[in-house]
């Protein structure tokens, strides 16, 4: 009897909890975005680039708006033959969601080799950080000092491994149709990275086929932290750029929409702390989209949101590695108990395990929980456990108030 009451309590609490991201990630965020061309000092001399930021009005050279800042810093390394302007739409989109983006370049020759371009983007991030402390700068008070992230397209994708391996302030890296052949040094950098890695590939990319590049990047990043692989079915090499020059069977507009969605969700989850955004990377948020998705996470993410297609039910999921053991549980009483697997947030003796099997071959599982009658005024607590081959890891603990 107690088990039934506890499950009812949890299910109702979660179903009543509003999504932290009620707005679709592919749609513009709530802020106006501006941009301007900039120069900054580097070890190779003065370099050029472009900055995008929340602004008081839209457009070039618009005054920055720090009212809701400081904002997380994001760096972007363009692909070979590309320029920062070729990613304006994606960068302005991220700025509208509350990020400051600095895009280095155009880089050519030796400066665009992955080891060198990784140094350039870190130096540009350092410049933006310093500008945020300078009252004379247009970026004054705009950028937060910690938890940087970086994106790289094509050849810029391999630079992400060097960034991850050399700059501790970078906590998330994204490869957009990355060139990543799996050579020893960049692979070793990702092997030791305990942040988060997202690799996006297009199934019809003939320049860097995902099985030979994006998935190789994903595989290299599965030893620590969190990682995800998103393959856009029908996508080509250019879906994240402003240029409709590809030949994928999926329309350019849809490819770009999906890039906006998964990139923004990933940064929201890993940099802004909205872990429920993983539903748009692994769960029902992308279940009907033309994507294949995989998780390779040592540190398992947990998401729990009211289901959209199944009204009256809750979508709860977690990510780990392919075919890991997995458990989802709840309790009406919280706890904070150190264990060898992390902090147990559920009170022993009141824990109800409502899923205990394994993750799928793609490394994740989502459970749909029907919402039974409620118990008002209570709070329910939810947690997951993933059992890896060499140990186990607890997820965060979610707390949900029953109205």
- Could you please report the per-residue DSSP string of 118-173? HHHHHHHHHHHHHHTT-TTSTTTTTB-SS-EEEEEETHHHHHHHHHHHH-TTEEEE
Residues 10 and 48 in one domain: no
Q: What is the pLDDT of residue 378?
A: 65
Residues 311 and 261 in one domain: no
On the question of pLDDT at 400 being above 80, the answer is no
Q: In this structure, what CATH number is given to the domain that contains residue 213? A: 3.40.50.1820
Q: What is the pLDDT of residue 312?
A: 72
Residue with tokens 């997995």: 326
Please, which residues bridge with residue 246 across strands?
none
Residue 129 placed within a domain:
yes
**Residue closest to 124 by CA, chosen among 244, 43, 6:** 43
**Predicted confidence band of residue 401 (pLDDT cuts 50, 70, 90):** low
On the question of pLDDT at 17 being above 50, the answer is no
The sign one gets for the Cα dihedral 252, 245, 117, 158 is positive
- List strands edge to edge, sheet with 226-232: 59-60, 33-42, 45-54, 100-104, 73-77, 148-153, 170-176, 196-202, 226-232, 291-295
On the question of pLDDT at 3 being above 60, the answer is no
* Mean of all residue pLDDT scores within the chain: 91
Both ends of the chain: CA-CA distance in Å?
22
Q: What is the pLDDT of residue 347?
A: 95
Q: What is the pLDDT of residue 15?
A: 33
Question: Phi and psi for 314 in degrees, rounded to 5?
Answer: -120, 135
**Entry pTM:** 0.93
Residues 42 and 76 in one domain: yes
Q: What is the pLDDT of residue 350?
A: 94
Domain span at 346 = 2-18+302-401
Write the CB contacts of 276 (distance below 8 Å, at least 6 apart in sequence): 19, 20, 21, 269, 303, 304, 305
Give residue-wise pLDDT tens across range 254-281.
999 999 999 999 999 999 999 999 999 9
On the question of pLDDT at 82 being above 50, the answer is yes
Give residue-wise pLDDT tens across range 165-211.
999 999 999 999 999 999 999 999 999 999 999 999 999 999 999 99
**Predicted confidence band of residue 4 (pLDDT cuts 50, 70, 90):** very low
Q: Mean pLDDT throughout 218-238?
A: 96
Residues 38 and 12 in one domain: no
What whole-number distance in Å separates Cα of residue 182 and Cα of residue 215?
10
Residue 280 placed within a domain:
no
**Residue closest to 295 by CA, chosen among 229, 386, 387, 214:** 229
Give residue-wise pLDDT tens across range 335-377.
999 999 999 999 999 998 989 999 999 999 999 877 555 544 5
On the question of pLDDT at 7 being above 90, the answer is no
Hey, which bits of 296-403 come out as E strands? 302-306, 313-319, 325-331, 334-339, 342-346, 352-358, 364-370, 379-388, 391-401
The sign one gets for the Cα dihedral 85, 86, 90, 93 is positive
Q: What is the pLDDT of residue 313?
A: 76
What whole-number distance in Å separates Cα of residue 51 and Cα of residue 38?
7
To the nearest whole percent, how much of the chain has pLDDT over 70? 91
Q: What is the pLDDT of residue 276?
A: 94
Give residue-wise pLDDT tens across range 88-112.
999 999 999 999 999 999 999 999 9
Residues 46 and 139 in one domain: yes
Residue 289 placed within a domain:
no
Give residue-wise pLDDT tens across range 19-53.
345 689 999 999 999 999 999 999 999 999 999 99
Residues 220 and 340 in one domain: no
Residues 231 and 354 in one domain: no
Residues 336 and 245 in one domain: no
How far is residue 300 from each of residues 49, 152, 196, 340, 354, measured CA to CA in Å?
A: 36, 24, 11, 15, 18
Please, which residues bridge with residue 392 across strands?
387
What whole-number distance in Å separates Cα of residue 398 and Cα of residue 188?
34
Residues 90 and 190 in one domain: yes
300: cis peptide before it, omega within 30°? no
Give residue-wise pLDDT tens across range 289-347.
999 999 999 999 999 888 888 877 778 899 999 999 999 998 889 999 999 999 999 99
Number of domains in the chain: 2
**Residue closest to 288 by CA, chosen among 346, 233, 336, 247:** 233
**Predicted confidence band of residue 241 (pLDDT cuts 50, 70, 90):** very high
- Per-residue tokens: 245: 């020059």
What whole-number distance in Å separates Cα of residue 156 and Cα of residue 175?
8
209-220 residues labelled b (16+ CB within 10 A) or e (exposed): bbeebbbbbbbb
Q: What is the pLDDT of residue 223?
A: 85
Residue 392 placed within a domain:
yes
């Amino acid at each position: 009897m107690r088990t039934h009451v506890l499950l009812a309590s949890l299910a109702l609490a979660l179903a009543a909890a509003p999504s932290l991201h009620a707005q679709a990630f592919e749609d513009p965020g709530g802020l106006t975005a501006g941009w301007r061309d900039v120069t900054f000092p580097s070890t190779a001399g003065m370099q050029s680039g472009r900055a995008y930021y929340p602004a008081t009005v839209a457009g070039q050279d618009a005054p920055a708006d720090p009212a809701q800042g400081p904002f997380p810093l994001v760096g972007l390394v363009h692909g070979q033959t590309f320029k920062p302007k070729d990613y304006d739409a994606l960068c302005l989109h991220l700025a509208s969601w509350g990020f400051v983006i600095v895009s280095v370049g155009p880089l050519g020759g030796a400066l665009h080799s992955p080891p060198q371009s990784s140094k350039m983007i870190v130096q540009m991030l350092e410049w933006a950080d310093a500008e945020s402390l300078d009252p004379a700068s247009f970026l004054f008070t705009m950028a937060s000092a910690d938890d940087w992230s970086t994106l790289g397209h094509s050849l810029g994708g391999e630079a992400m491994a060097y960034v991850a391996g050399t700059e501790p302030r970078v906590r998330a890296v994204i490869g957009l149709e990355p060139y990543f052949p799996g050579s020893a040094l960049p692979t070793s950098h990702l092997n030791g990275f305990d942040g988060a890695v997202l690799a996006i590939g297009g199934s019809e990319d003939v320049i860097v086929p995902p099985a030979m590049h994006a998935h190789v990047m994903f595989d290299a990043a599965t030893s620590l932290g969190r990682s995800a692989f998103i393959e856009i079915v029908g996508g080509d090499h250019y879906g994240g750029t402003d240029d409709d020059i590809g030949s994928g069977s999926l329309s350019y507009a849809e490819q770009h929409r999906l890039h906006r969605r998964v990139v923004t969700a990933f940064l929201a989850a890993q940099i802004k702390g909205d872990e429920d955004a993983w539903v748009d990377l692994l769960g029902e948020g992308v279940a009907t989209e033309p994507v294949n998705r995989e998780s390779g996470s040592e540190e398992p993410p947990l998401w729990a949101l009211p289901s959209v297609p199944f009204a009256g039910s809750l979508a709860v999921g977690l990510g780990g590695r392919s075919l890991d053991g997995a458990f989802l549980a709840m309790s009406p009483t919280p706890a904070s108990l150190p264990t060898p697997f992390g902090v147990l947030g559920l009170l022993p003796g009141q824990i109800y395990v409502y899923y205990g099997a394994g993750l799928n071959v793609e490394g994740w599982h989502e459970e749909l929980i029907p919402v039974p009658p409620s118990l008002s005024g209570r709070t329910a607590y939810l947690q997951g456990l993933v059992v890896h081959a060499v140990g186990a890891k607890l997820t965060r603990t979610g707390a949900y108030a029953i109205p």
